[in-house]
Chain A
């Protein structure tokens, strides 16, 4: 989960439904409920494919590195994810954790000692066998190496303590965790790197400049279905089938079927669209405004537009509830009267009633979006709570809530005041450069002004906004987005009151409110709870608390839309995995 600065995001959703404003919320709920994710698994039976052919994709930016330990941005992982593999992986259809380089695993009674049995038929690109030494090396000498700055270390550290990783035999590895850690199996998707190639670089202290973009492609050694053969900065990446790949189809033919993968680096969406229409690209991720252009061309252009429901992640409006005192400036971060408004639950709920989600979807997303009610995206599947409190668009209800809390227009100037006669006036920021978010902010502002708030809307450069949220805390209200995950714990840093991304009041020493204390407790308990159903109960409760107290006032999500040429077999797009989650099984018909 990370802060989003662009509107194009990874695909995601629950089911294939399209939100039409004519459907009542109840009906929608029913559709969602009767469309369980697991049903996809039965639909999909991979066919035996034919070898050869290429798939041409586009990406908006160059990767940052080919070293999966050093770089984790999506532009990088899109490529390294094909070259390297982890012990487990997340199934693109069911979103369950499934075996990958490890064929099985078990956990002891304490829930802290995990033993992984590795596949014995895996080879690196150069023919060397993959063994337990590589796993131990990846953790002990790379991730936990103090001289290698990397973000994986933060995932594999619990309360300041690291995991103990030991080799049992050539194909068995034992992980000893300091505490129980529920998302452990999912985070074992961490890419494993070859010891026989990298050991020397680590010893000589050169690992930080290993496998950068200048590295010769044939030196980048992984176990994945594809290997890099060419990289031209700003132009394209070419990947080729790994003939040594271990995964086989049902008739024991080795995968993948495709011979070549080409990523064209196309920075401009409009150019990518033209290229797709011309047949130069096999895949195109649509913006809402592209839908009316591409949909009618489907038959003529021999492609299909897929809509897989709301994207992952969240879009929300948040008020600054920071109760802290700025020692340097000698004043509170938030003016006392503003703090009184923003910490008032009625105030926030009233604002939630001012969000016209239907209009946002129709105007900003051209009808191709979904309303968001819960702290998770409906695309998140298992942990998503369908039954949280919803705030329908109702300005009268908003005014009523405000009146109850003592906010009303006493001097009849069109602007409501608090009990001390201060006009309710605040500034609303969002990051510039994200046109969709700016449009959303403008529509919301208009509704807020109708209720009687005075709102100053301003666009800020992304880094400037981050500084305000992170260190100077001089903001009133912000409209932002966070990327989502199917694993709620990965949002720990947002929801724990001590977290640095607990935006409305970060890094609290003790929870400021009882509901924040409750959420802290839930996250601490859930991460220790290895039973999925029990965990879901906890996270359901968390989503209900968030919906009641609305620290984040959720808005709408764009739907994932993409177009793929019809020539591919075994294509089975899903909410979580997008179009090519089963890339090794895809072939040309």
Chain B
């Protein structure tokens, strides 16, 4: 197992190189660069702009630029974000925690509801309750996030029960530790529901499908035939066998933990990474985008590795 993990970790290096190289080149395909916006300002001269460009080697060919980027990366320097005029690591660091708690709470929301719901629907296949919950999760899937967020905010403004977006109340600093946690929780609720419901349906359907397949297997019939209580049949025999694809999905979703959800963040005013990255892509803030790509890449590979390890742990048939 250890040697397997080490082998996997070694393959990360060429994979990461490939990911960043492709990302860098694709990004360069878009015409222009960040400083084009300055170019449209009549009070800024061409010389000033070329001064900026040569400072960050943007006047070189993409391959050379990638070389510079890679060299800085080896020195653990992710570069400079043009738009925020500060190092990329600073920009990411500032939003990392915010993004993490929102993603985590949304993930918990999704998983804690989707898995039991999937099992329930499989067990009660084609009955009214199954249809009802399936319909509900499809509604969650179909409503665009930004619209759902607006609806929830509107409801919040009607009832006055929840804050209208943001992450902390204006008087946050004056609150007690408990008060702060409560305040944060209240602000978290709307974005959590919005992001959570959008992936609920998919996960619930996967869980339901797997369960149904397993429940039809002969060993389940055997288990029932030998008189095991129904809850043991479902939760011990069926669930253990149906959970493998879910673990793989879990590994993938780990990579989303830090990528943020731009549209929901923008509407609900959550200061996460998603909106920063969306803005970075739109304004061609090259190094910030690359920083986010790198982070996403690492998390995706790490998530897959975690999933594979978990699979080996949960399913004795899998060995490396």
Q: A-side interface residues toward B, CB under 8 Å?
A: 1-3, 5, 56, 61-62, 64-65, 67, 70-71, 149-151, 153-155, 157, 209, 212-214, 232-236, 262, 264-268, 270-271, 274-275, 277-278, 280, 461-464, 466-470, 472, 490-494, 499-501
Partner of A466, one of B40, B160, B279: B40
Q: Which residues of A contact B41 (CB under 8 A)?
A: 1-3, 151
Q: Give A280 to B170 CA distance when docked, in angstroms.
A: 10
Looking at chain B, what size class is its interface with the partner chain? 35 or more
Closest A residue to B150 by beta carbon equals A270
Closest B residue to A507 by beta carbon equals B46
Partner of A464, one of B31, B86, B279: B31
Q: Which residues of B contact A461 (CB under 8 A)?
A: 30, 282
Q: Give A81 to B275 CA distance when docked, in angstroms.
A: 26
Partner of A70, one of B85, B268, B271, B284: B85
Contact, CB under 8 Å: A501 / B51: no
User: Among the listed stretches B6-14, B58-66, B161-169, B245-253, which one makes contact with chain A, having 4 or more residues with CB under 8 Å of it?
Assistant: B161-169
Partner of B167, one of A1, A2, A67, A235: A235
Q: Which residues of B contact A235 (CB under 8 A)?
A: 166-168, 269, 271
User: Among the listed stretches B90-98, B221-229, B287-295, which one makes contact with chain A, having 4 or more residues with CB under 8 Å of it?
Assistant: B90-98
Question: Does residue B37 face the partner (Cβ distance < 8 Å to A)?
Answer: yes
Given contacts A275-B165, A463-B284, contact A65 B85 (CB under 8 A): yes
Contact, CB under 8 Å: A262 / B43: no
Question: Does residue B83 face the partner (Cβ distance < 8 Å to A)?
Answer: yes
8 other A-B residue contacts (CB within 8 Å) besides A154-B43, A270-B150, A463-B36: A70-B85, A234-B167, A274-B164, A274-B165, A463-B284, A467-B32, A490-B43, A500-B46
Partner of A154, one of B44, B84, B86: B44
Partner of A265, one of B36, B154, B271: B271
Contact, CB under 8 Å: A277 / B157: yes
Q: Give A490 to B275 CA distance when docked, in angstroms.
A: 33
Contact, CB under 8 Å: B275 / A234: yes
Closest chain-B Cβ to A181's Cβ sits at a distance in Å of 14
Contact, CB under 8 Å: B85 / A149: no
Contact, CB under 8 Å: A267 / B275: yes
Given contacts A233-B94, A234-B95, A275-B165, contact A149 B51 (CB under 8 A): yes
Q: Which residues of B contact A271 (CB under 8 A)?
A: 150, 153, 164-165, 267-269
Contact, CB under 8 Å: B37 / A270: no
Contact, CB under 8 Å: A212 / B42: no
Closest chain-B Cβ to A129's Cβ sits at a distance in Å of 30
Contact, CB under 8 Å: A464 / B32: yes
Question: Does residue B272 face the partner (Cβ distance < 8 Å to A)?
Answer: yes
Contact, CB under 8 Å: B157 / A1: no
Question: Does residue B313 face the partner (Cβ distance < 8 Å to A)?
Answer: no
Which 3 A-B residue pairs are closest in the complex by CB-CB distance?
Answer: A234-B271, A493-B42, A3-B40
Contact, CB under 8 Å: B268 / A151: no
Q: Which of A3, A154, A267 has the most CB atoms of chain B within a 10 A radius of its CB?
A: A267
Interface string of B188-229 (1 = CB under 8 A from A): 000000000000000000000000000000000000000000
